[in-house]
Amino acid sequence: MSNEVVLQYVGFETRGAVREYAFTVRGSGGESSSYFVTIANDAFLAHRVRYQDAPDICSLRLRREFATQTGHPCFIRFYVTDAELTDYQHTHTPKTKPGTAAHRKDNQ
């Protein structure tokens, strides 16, 4: 996504089996477009994604679309896959040091 475009998170709505996250993209010329990214409610219930992480996950999904397109993407609706959720979880979960959990239990 170029520096000339600003991506703004607008909010979300629960729509049946999904949560739909809305974004507005504003270009340098003042034009704006709306985009929507959905995540299945089951992903939240199964703890594959945290509610507070969902806007970031959706934003990353949109940014990937902009990076692979010349100009704006052809579609305005996107879906976050289980593979993308897994990737996000692996790259954004702090790694614990081996033995740290056992050490804390001994000291309590």
Domain assignment of residue 73, given as a range: 6-107
Report the percentage of the chain scoring pLDDT > 90: 56
For the cut 70, the answer to whether the pLDDT of residue 106 exceeds it is no
Domain membership of residue 71 (yes or no) is: yes
Residue among 51, 41, 75 at smallest CA distance from 61 = 75
Domain membership of residue 1 (yes or no) is: no
pLDDT number for residue 102: 53
Reported as a single tens digit per residue, the pLDDT across 38-74 is 999 999 999 999 999 999 999 999 999 888 877 677 8
pLDDT number for residue 47: 92
pLDDT number for residue 90: 87
User: Structurally, how many domains does the chain consist of?
Assistant: 1
pLDDT number for residue 108: 54
For the cut 90, the answer to whether the pLDDT of residue 14 exceeds it is yes
pLDDT number for residue 30: 78
d(CA 89, CA 46): 13
Residues with Cβ within 8 Å of 24's Cβ and at least 6 positions away in sequence, in order, are 7, 8, 10, 32, 33, 34, 35
Provide the 10 A C-beta neighbour count for residue 59: 16
104 or 74: which leads in pLDDT: 74
Domain membership of residue 72 (yes or no) is: yes
Domain membership of residue 80 (yes or no) is: yes
Burial (CB count within 10 angstroms: exposed 0-12, middle 13-18, buried 19+), residue 80 = buried
Q: Among positive and negative, which fits the CA dihedral 2, 24, 48, 43?
A: negative
